Structure 1
């Protein structure tokens, strides 16, 4: 499926500063970029940073002049998804994990899995299939945490979300990650563009490592799983921020959009009882 994605960001720069942007769609085995364009007004040289420990595509802007800076990113992306049956999959023991996966077992700034160990094991520990455990976690968060726009802030953690029982997509993702890690299931943060998300915005989900694959889950259930275009992954939102600001800069606006380009009817896929024994991933 082909999607047209775009991001618009506006900043007021009050002193020489640096911005590190993270809005570019990723190139993955399941996601191909057909074309893309980054526009900056006034013109500022953009440097795409080489990836060190992730596949994320960070772009650095060194801004020497004060004033208004407007940034627009546009891309056409071809996405592929797959349904897999995980009823009888082979569990991969921790001893066989790729070393790059091991970091996603540890607590992180926003995902204090060590503090949620008892909750995770008392609620989901009796489920004997890792995939079903993660589906149960996703459903539990959806039922027990209220989605409230603007409720949380940049300091809200998974532990806060459990106690406050409310949050936004970022908080739903952090809680899913923390509960998975508490069950020794590697999990990582996912941010992307989302088709049919209302209102249009960037969207956060999480991926769990099951049977040697990174599988996508969305506890908010606000966007179809086959309508997501990946921007970045990380231990939590600190690794996948849309923009990191270093200097005296005020953000005036942030917009994101995702539209489908194919003429064929779009059949949205969500995790429901009818697909409980299958899985969708990008």
Structure 2
């Protein structure tokens, strides 16, 4: 299967402004790209690429005063299968976890494990450890939070989402991640593209999405508390402890986002 992904973001900048953009498909999918998903800007400016602490690809540049557009576009080859499930995946004891996963047991900017720990154990402490426990967390978060773009707020934490019972996909992910970490399950925040391929219409407008990856049975598994169902064509851009680590754009000055479009759709097969 071929999936067309890309985005276009247009800003008005009050003055020349440093920006870091995290918009390229993750390195784990590079071999699936039919063409490089170069970050293009209008007007053109010099870009400096680098990898952050988590290995995500970033571009830094200075956006000039006035109207400025960022754009990416590529075709990703995908197996076309639904997200994998492994109901036999077991939770590992903390002392047996790989050292690189321990970071994802800690509290972070949006995931207050210290304030949610008792709640997590009260709600899920009697569930079967492993896949069943994580799925119980996703079921609970999916049912507890009401989705709405009008509820988006950049300062909302996992505890806020728990108490307010509303939010967007990042809030679902933050609350589920916090619960997992409270229960000694490494969990990391993911951002990227999710398609509606294989789902009946009507389809939602294109947007970036957030989900989580959880370490069970010796590897990372995808869970999506917002949709709480498998998807076809989930394409990772970046992962970190929470949304603070993986902003699509990080701007160091005042600006206004005036246009935002995201494309995730099946492309036609190559004619033979």
Scaled by the length of structure 2, what TM-score is found?
A: 0.89
CA contact (8 A) 2:27 2:56 kept: no
The question of 1:252 aligning with 2:252 is answered no
Secondary structure of the equivalent of 1:108? coil
Gap regions ≥5 residues in structure 2: 197-202
Question: Hey, what does 1:209 align to over in structure 2?
Answer: 215
Question: Hey, what does 2:238 align to over in structure 1?
Answer: 232
The question of 1:192 aligning with 2:192 is answered yes
CA contact (8 A) 2:47 2:60 kept: yes
CA contact (8 A) 1:138 1:217 kept: yes
Worse-matched range after superposition: 37-46 or 159-168: 37-46
The question of 1:145 aligning with 2:145 is answered yes
Question: Hey, what does 1:73 align to over in structure 2?
Answer: 72
Question: Hey, what does 1:221 align to over in structure 2?
Answer: 227
The alpha-carbon deviation at position 223 of structure 1 amounts to 7.3
Question: Hey, what does 2:161 align to over in structure 1?
Answer: 161
CA contact (8 A) 1:10 1:252 kept: yes
Deviations 1:30-80 (A, max 9, x none): 97222123321111112211x2421211111123x3221111101211234
Across the aligned residues of Structure 1 and Structure 2, the Cα RMSD in angstroms comes to 2.0
CA–CA distance in 1 between the matches of 2:231 and 2:268?
17
- Aligned length, in residue pairs: 260
Superposed, 1:1-282 pairs within 5 Å as 1-28=1-28, 32-35=32-35, 36-49=37-50, 51-63=51-63, 65-80=64-79, 83=84, 85-87=86-88, 89-196=89-196, 198-221=204-227, 224-261=230-267
The alpha-carbon deviation at position 83 of structure 1 amounts to 3.5
The alpha-carbon deviation at position 186 of structure 1 amounts to 0.6
CA contact (8 A) 1:194 1:223 kept: no
More strand by percentage: 1
CA–CA distance in 2 between the matches of 1:202 and 1:121?
32
CA–CA distance in 1 between the matches of 2:185 and 2:261?
33
The alpha-carbon deviation at position 95 of structure 1 amounts to 1.9
Worse-matched range after superposition: 98-107 or 176-185: 98-107
Shift in alpha-carbon separation, 1:167–1:91, aligned structure 2, 3 A:
closer
Gap regions ≥5 residues in structure 1: 264-282
CA–CA distance in 2 between the matches of 1:83 and 1:249?
40
